[in-house]
């Protein structure tokens, strides 16, 4: 018993499956298109002599290109190993009041895991009947707030008015807006608010819109003081979070704004026709501003559809949590993948 008492025991986050055989993979919101051509070039031309050395602990090259892209100062950007790393570091840095932090009850399930890992008390705020955030719930006393915008897995974007309201009501705590899917929304990022609200931290990732989930790059934007505090924690944890290849490839990806715009537009176009098709088949779903659609059918059981699709080598995401057990979260793939998905879905529904 003694030994067990000394262990930090946690229930880990469970990521979506990464099947090794060839399947149509619509379960973890990866991008179906390759990264920008400059990334492939950078990998081929990579100076492997540089691998002998430690990477730049300040990650200046990537930080500066992101600052330019976001139209903020480099001192307002923090880069990490995927936004999961940035978020985990942010929990550790900003949520230390002892009061419960707040996040939606239906949201990215990693928030609860980090809260438990770092022993941060938390409260989950229910979404309203249309699956929107209820901003009133974020006005009570708390130790910090975090939510994705657009939210996952609902796909719903909340306007910056809602976010500003929450920021104004919570001047003494940090509010983190996780913008993993913002590039698919065609709506403004909360990064435009960081100069006005010193309690705002916004995170984004290269895993979805920049097709680089395997490279692990994410970043946060916030005022200089918040970023300094994050850096201090990072340097107390691991000075070299980002590998040299990730720094070089990430910088190449940011440079190619044209490729980024084109692939993002393609996914949005595929999403829009997929919504029509799902509605024609009788599915119900909140309006998605992301690269996935969170849909349920009044006459077909969510788990059964999930299993039937999986047996036919089509992977989507399903959770057993009762409130959302009827839903499938379907990542938007290429047009061809979506056509195959719909052909298979129609077959299953006819059986
Ligand atoms: C995918 C995702 C992340 C993490 O992405 P990384 O691959 O770690 O950059 C964070 N938040 C939400 C809501 C996500 O969906």
> Which domains does the chain carry?
4-34+258-350 (3.90.1150.10), 37-256 (3.40.640.10)
Cis peptide before 150 (omega within 30 of 0): yes
Write phi, then psi, for 284 (nearest 5 degrees): -120, 140
Predicted pLDDT of residue 17: 87
Does the CA dihedral 274-150-195-240 come out positive or negative? Answer: negative
- Lining ligand 1 with CB less than 6 A are 82-84, 108, 148, 152, 178, 180, 205, 207, 213, 218
Q: Hunting for tokens 């298979």 — which residue is that?
A: 344
Nearest ligand 1 atom to the CA of 148 is: 13
Whole-number Å distance between alpha carbons of 282 and 295: 10
Using most ligand atoms within 8 A of CB, pick from 180, 201, 204 the residue to mutate for ligand 1.
Answer: 180
Residue pair 315/19 in contact by the 8 Å Cβ criterion: yes
pLDDT tens digits for range 194-230: 999 999 999 999 999 999 999 999 999 999 999 999 9
CA of 31 to the centre of ligand 1 (A): 13
Residue 162 tokens read as: 């809602």
Torsion of CA 122, 125, 131, 134, to 10 degrees: -130
Nearest residue by C-alpha to atom 11 in ligand 1? 180
Which one-letter DSSP state was computed for residue 99? Answer: S
Give me ligand 1 centre to Cα 83, in Å: 6
- Whose CA is closest to 298, among 314, 278, 315? 278
Given this model, what pLDDT does residue 60 score? Answer: 97
**Of 295, 288, 282, residue with least CA distance to 270:** 288
Ligand 1 nearest-atom number relative to CA 87: 10
Closest Cα to atom 5 of ligand 1: 83
Q: What pLDDT band is residue 262 in, cutting at 50, 70 and 90?
A: very high
Half-sphere exposure of 33 (CA within 13 A, CB side): 23
Strand ranges for the chain from DSSP E: 24-25, 77-80, 101-104, 122-125, 145-148, 175-178, 200-205, 218-222, 292-295, 314-315, 328-331
Ligand 1 atom closest to Cα of residue 108: 13
| Model pLDDT for residues 298-313, shown as the tens digit of each residue | 999 999 999 999 999 9
Each residue's pLDDT tens digit, 95-152: 999 999 999 999 999 999 999 999 999 999 999 999 999 999 999 999 999 999 999 9
Rounded to 10 deg, the angle between the 37-44 and 244-255 helix axes is: 150
Strands 101-104 and 77-80: unpaired
The alpha carbon of 110 and the centre of ligand 1 are apart by a number of angstroms equal to 9
Q: How far lies 188's CA from each of 133, 157, 175, 217, 305, in Å?
A: 18, 10, 17, 22, 35
Instruction: Tell how far the Cα of 57 is from the centroid of ligand 1, in angstroms.
Output: 23
Of 114, 208, 220, 288, the one to substitute when testing ligand 1's pocket (max ligand atoms within 8 A of C-beta) is 208
**pTM confidence score:** 0.97
Which residue, by CA, sits nearest to atom 15 of ligand 1?
Answer: 180
- Spacing, Cα 124 to ligand 1 middle (Å): 19
> CA 46 to CA 107: how far, in whole Å?
38
Query: What is the helix, strand, coil percentage profile of the chain, to 5?
Result: 45, 15, 45
Q: Which residues contact 292 (CB under 8 A, 6 or more apart)?
A: 26, 29, 152, 153, 155, 181, 329, 330, 331, 332
Q: Which of 214, 164, 154, 212 is nearest to 185 (CA)?
A: 154
For 323, phi then psi, to 5°, come to -60, -25
Q: What is the 52 CA–ligand 1 centroid distance (Å)?
A: 30
> ∠ CA(190), CA(155), CA(282), 5° rounding?
155
Does 274 have pLDDT greater than 80? yes
Cα 260 to ligand 1 centroid, rounded to whole Å: 18
Tens of pLDDT, residue by residue over 45-66, are 999 899 999 999 999 999 999 9
Number of helical H runs and strand E runs in the chain: 11, 11
Ligand 1 centroid – CA 180 distance (Å): 6
Closest residue by Cα to atom 1, ligand 1, is: 180
Ligand 1 atom closest to Cα of 206? Answer: 9
In the three-class reduction of DSSP (H, G, I as helix; E, B as strand; rest coil), residue 51 is classed as: helix
């Amino acid at each position: 018993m003694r030994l067990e008492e000394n262990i930090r025991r946690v229930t880990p986050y469970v990521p979506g499956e990464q099947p090794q055989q060839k399947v149509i993979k619509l379960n973890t919101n990866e991008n179906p298109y390759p990264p920008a051509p400059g990334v492939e070039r950078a990998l081929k031309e990579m100076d492997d002599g540089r691998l002998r050395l430690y990477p730049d602990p300040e990650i200046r090259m990537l930080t500066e290109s992101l600052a330019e892209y976001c139209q903020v100062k480099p001192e307002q950007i923090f880069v990490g190993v995927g936004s999961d790393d940035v978020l985990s570091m942010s929990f550790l840095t900003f949520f230390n009041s002892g009061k419960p932090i707040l996040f939606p009850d239906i949201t990215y399930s990693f928030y609860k895991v980090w809260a438990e890992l770092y022993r941060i008390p938390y409260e989950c705020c229910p979404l309203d009947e249309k699956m929107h955030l209820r901003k009133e719930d974020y006005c009570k006393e708390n130790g910090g707030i975090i939510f994705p915008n657009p939210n996952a897995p609902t796909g719903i974007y909340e306007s910056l008015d809602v976010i500003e309201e929450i920021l104004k009501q919570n001047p003494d705590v940090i509010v983190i807006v996780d913008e993993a899917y913002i590039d698919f929304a065609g709506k403004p990022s909360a990064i435009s608010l960081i100069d006005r609200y010193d309690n705002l931290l916004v995170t984004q990732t290269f895993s979805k819109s920049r097709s680089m989930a395997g490279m692990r790059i994410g970043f946060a934007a916030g005022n200089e003081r918040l970023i300094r505090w994050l850096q201090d924690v990072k340097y107390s944890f691991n000075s070299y979070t980002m590998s040299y290849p990730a720094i070089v490839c990430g910088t190449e990806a940011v440079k190619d704004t044209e490729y980024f715009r084109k692939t993002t537009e393609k996914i949005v176009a595929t999403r829009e026709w997929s919504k029509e098709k799902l509605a024609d088949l009788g599915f119900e779903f909140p309006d998605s501003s992301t690269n996935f659609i969170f849909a349920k059918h009044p006459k077909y059981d969510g788990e059964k559809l999930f299993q039937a699709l999986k047996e036919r080598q089509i992977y989507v995401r399903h959770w057993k949590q009762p409130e959302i057990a009827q839903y499938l979260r379907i990542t938007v793939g290429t047009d061809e993948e979506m056509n195959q998905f719909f052909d298979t879905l129609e077959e299953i529904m006819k059986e």
